[in-house]
Amino acid sequence: MTGAPREITIPHRQIPLEIPDGIAPTEFFNSPCNLRHLARENGLLRTSEGFLLYRKAIGHSNLFDTSIIFDTSQQVLDPMGRPVRRDQLSKAENIVFSRMTKVVLDYMLELFPDPQKHLVFCGEASLDATWPLNKSGVPSIRMIHNHFMAFEKSLLAAAPLAAEDNPNLTDSGENGLFLNYLSEVYLQFLDVLDLEILRPIDPNKGKLAITGYPQGLPSWEILGGAASLNRGKFWKEYDMVLKGFLDFYRTLFALVATEDNRIPDDACFPDQIEDILLFSDQFHQAARMLRLQVMEDPMFANQIRWKPAYKQLIYRDDEGRLIVTISQNSVGNAITEQLGIVVKRVADENAYAKVEGVLVAKLLELRNRLVKYNLGSPIATPSWPHGYFVPPKST
C-alpha cells in the first residue's frame, strides 16, 4: 500500500431546500433563514450558550459524522460578525465548547477503539473575516465549529488515489510556501511553547500510512491519551497552540501586506516573535516572495487570506496516539484534506438510506450522553421526533 492522498465517494440525501435565484450557495447557506432550517431539520441538541450539535446532512463520512457550531445566526445577522475562532469566545463559552468536544471524542474512541481499523478525528477551522461569502471554498456555515468524523481504514485503503493537482490538496500554493520555505522557522516558533501535556513529535512520526498525511506540520502527542482530555490544563495548552499560530500568521502577513516589522500590541508571545521570527532571514525571504507574487499575480492576490485562518485537529494516528496539529486554512481545504482525504459527495438517496438509520442511532446515543452531562437539551426533528430514527417518507 502506497501512502498517498485518497479520494472517497460519500452518498447523501438531496436536501429539500432550494437556493433562490440570484444568490450564491455560500451566501444562502450563511443566511439566518437557512441556519434556522438546519436546526429544525438536523439539529440534535442545543446548549443555553447557543452551541448546536447537528447531523451533517451532506457529510464526509456515513460511519460517523457530526458537528458543533456556535450558532449566533439569529442574534448576529451579519455573517462577517459571527465568532469564527475559540479566542473569540468568553471563558465560560470556551469551557462548554471544550467539554462538548471532550465528550464527543470520548464517545468516538469508545465506539471505534482499534486504530488499525478506524481513523478518528475532529477539527476546527476558521476563515478570514474579509473573505467574500460568494468565493468558492468558503464553508457552508461561517461560524466557529468543530467537525467530528470517523472512517474505516479499509475504505480509505481501497479508495483510488486523489489527483496530485487536486485544489483541495494543493492549498492554492500557500501550503507549498509553508512547507518549502517556512517549515523550519514555523516548527521552531511553536516549539518554544510552555507545554506539559502536549509533547512535540517529529512531523513525520504521526503520518498516516494510508495517505502519507499530514505533511510537515507541527505536531504534538497528547501525553496520557484520552484521559488527558478530562483536564482543563490540556485545553489551555490546546488554546496556546492556536494563539501561537495566530501570532505567526499575523506577523507573516503584516510583512507581506505592508512590510510592517512591529510586534502587535495584542501578541500572545511577543518575545518569541522578535527572537525567532523577525530575526529570521528565512521568514523575511518567504514574506518577500509572497509580496512580489501578490503584486504581480491578480489571481494569486485574490486567494490570500489576510486575517488568520486555520485548521486545528486532534486525530488518532496508526499507533493509537492522539495527536494535535495545526495549519493555515486556504482555498477549498476541508478538515479531511489535512489528513490526505478528499471527499466527493454525491446525491444518492437509496445508498444513503442504507446507512442513515445506523448513523443517526449513534448520534442520538451521543446526544443522550451530552444531556446526561448537562451539556444541552434535545431537539426534535422530522427524522428523530421522539428520540429515535424515523425514515423519511421519500425512501
Give pLDDT tens digits for 331-366.
Answer: 455 789 889 999 999 999 999 999 999 999 999 999
Tens-digit pLDDT profile for residues 90-149: 999 999 999 999 999 999 999 999 999 999 999 998 765 555 555 555 555 678 889 999
**pLDDT for position 20:** 84
- 3-state helix, strand, coil split of the chain in percent (to 5) is 40, 20, 40
Q: What is the structure's pLDDT at 1?
A: 56
Res. 40: pLDDT tops 80: yes
Average pLDDT over residues 296-323: 88
- In the block, cell 516549539 appears at 191
| pLDDT for the residue 379 | 97
- Give the per-residue pLDDT at 218: 86
**Could you report the per-residue pLDDT of 228-258, keeping only the tens digit for each?**
999 999 999 999 999 999 999 899 989 999 9
Please say if the pLDDT value at position 8 is more than 60.
yes
Residue found by looking up cell 483510488 in the block: 160
Q: Is the pLDDT of residue 178 over 70?
A: no
Q: Whole-angstrom Cα distance, residue 205 to residue 16?
A: 44
Among 120, 153, 121, smallest CA distance to 3 is for 153
Q: Specify the pLDDT at position 312.
A: 93
The x, y and z cell numbers of residue 176, run together, are 507549498
Burial of 243 (0-12, 13-18, 19+ CB in 10 A): middle
Q: What is the pTM of this model?
A: 0.92
Neighbours of 302 (CB within 10 A): 12
pLDDT at position 284 over 90: yes
Contact 294, 304 (CB under 8 A): yes
C-alpha cell at 68: 458543533
In the prediction, which pLDDT does 127 show? 63
Please say if the pLDDT value at position 172 is more than 50: no
CA–CA dist 92, 385 (Å, integer): 31
